[in-house]
Structure 1
Amino acid sequence: MRLSKITTRTGDDGTTGLADGTRLPKHHPRIAAIGSVDELNSQIGLLLAEPIPDEIRAELLRIQHDLFDLGGMLAVPGAPFDGAKLARLDGAIARHNASLPPLKEFILPGGCRAAALCHVARSVARRAERDYLQLQQSETCTLAGLHYLNRLSDLLFVFCRQLNLAAGKQETLWQR
């Protein structure tokens, strides 16, 4: 049993503990990055509650595990993040984007409910990337984590389009 005691009261002073025992203020850039990655994982969990194509579902479940690994890496300063996860995302982007019509204009977030939820996850991924980059300004972090978050937001955008296509929903093009 790893988590037999959920309420510890150790955070009542405005700090939180890392996996190595270090305590940091809850506003620290490392904690912000961990929180954004956790929020992203939760948003993907919400998306998974929707009826979505099996192939996208399977990839999103793998991504949830990757994000848990990324959060764990952030909780242990200096820990590595497997770059093979990035290669898998690149492959998924290429595969899923290949069947989509080319974009001639920006699209607005929305469409079917699953695509709209995926757009929210995409925007949270962008924030997580910014928070990760902010942490990198003051501490050494593996570039693989930053690259992963960047690519993940790209894949989520492709998934938004795929989900709308699967649901027969038209994308709303931005009008100048």
Structure 2
Amino acid sequence: MDVARRIIRKSLLKQASEIVACSRYSSKPPNPPIKDPPTVQQRSTPVPHEGHKERIPRIGDDGYAVTLMGAVKPKDDQIFHAMGSCYELCSFIGLAREHAHENGHSYVEYLKRIQTLLIDISVAISNCSYNPPNTHNSTPVLPMVSPSPLSIKGTTFSKRHVAELEEWIVEFSETLPPVEHFVIPGGGLVSAELHVALSVCRRTERKVLPLVRDGNLDGEVLVYLNRLAEFLFVISRVASHVDGAVESVYTPKSSPSTPTTSNISSS
């Protein structure tokens, strides 16, 4: 009997080891095919949710989204990368604007003006590679957003917006000492928030560049974002000045370990 048990046990162990080896080295099953993007009408159909009376359309659950002009595209499309960065930039500027308002900074309305133009740019980005909707999906998806002048294909982004930023840069730069060292982000809460907005602005440039390069977006938008980054840097220093904060500058490791600072409020 013991001999029979040992034979059965040995056989079972061998089968188990073969199963483990097969599962370890076998290739994964192919991914299921990606479904065709649903139409706007299909995506707008609400799905009832047990225990809730609200109408939840669940738009975007399938990995697709609808542009402001009604085109259905995958969420990783370059258009949504650019729009997302643009809106993130607008949001960080809004955060800095609220704190700047609390501290009585003079450039608050300038930031609001910039936010308005960023929304216009987002609408223009949404209109890139635009295909006119047919009668089946012509229902507007986001009716709360008013059409922007840039939403008309072929409309250019006015150069006066860039000129406006340049005037502001000169205006505020005259109140600051020249930059002699690399400025470390910080120098007070508002200044730090504006540095974050500056970083997001540079990323937005990189996301917008392919659309401009392919001729789908006016190149003046790229110029505006480049100038906006410069403006955000200037007023981040202004924010430190107004709040009486100390502006920290970069000190190489080969230099003395004592941090180098520049109190621009004394200028």
Is TM (by shorter chain) over 0.5? yes
Match for residue 151 of structure 1 among 214, 227, 231: 227
More helix by share: 1
Deviations 1:59-97 (A, max 9, x none): 001011111111111111245323221111111111111
Relative contact order (alpha carbons < 8 A, sep ≥ 6): 1 or 2 greater? 1
Quote the offset at 1:8 in angstroms: 3.3
TM-score (norm 1): 0.90
Q: CA deviation at 1:135?
A: 3.0
Q: Residues 111-122 of structure 1: matches in 2 within 5 Å?
A: 111-122=187-198
Amino acid in the other structure paired with 1:17: V
- Once the two structures are overlaid, the 10-residue window that deviates more, 52-61 or 121-130, is 52-61
Structure 2 residue 112 is matched with structure 1 residue 61: yes
CA deviation map 1:27-58 (0-9, x unaligned): 11111000000000110111122124443101
Partner of 1:141: 217
SS at match of 1:144: helix
Q: % of aligned pairs identical?
A: 34
Flag structure 1 segments of 5+ consecutive residues without an equivalent. Answer: none
2-side partners of 1:53 and 1:134: how far apart? 39
Q: Per the alignment, in what secondary structure is the counterpart of residue 104 of structure 1?
A: coil
Cα distance change, pair 137–7 in 1 and its aligned pair in 2 (3 A): farther
Q: Which residue of 2 aligns with 1:160?
A: 236
2:66 corresponds in structure 1 to 17
CA distance in 2 between counterparts of 1:153 and 1:49 reads 19
Count of residues in Structure 1 that have an aligned counterpart in Structure 2: 172
Contact 1:161 1:171 in 2 (8 A): yes
Normalised by the size of structure 2, how large is the TM-score? Answer: 0.61
Work out the CA distance in 2 between the residues paired with 1:71 and 1:119. Answer: 21
Distance in 2 separating the partners of 1:167 and 1:93: 19
1:40 pairs with 89, 93, 103, which one? Answer: 89
Aligned-pair Cα RMSD in Å: 1.8
Matched residues in 2 for 1:168 and 1:12: separation?
Answer: 48
Q: Matches of residues 86-101 of structure 1 in structure 2 within 5 Å?
A: 86-101=162-177
Which sections of structure 2, spanning at least 5 residues, go unmatched?
Answer: 1-53, 129-152, 253-267
Separation in structure 2 between the aligned mates of residue 6 and residue 122 of structure 1, nearest angstrom: 38
Offset of 1:139 from its aligned partner? Answer: 4.9
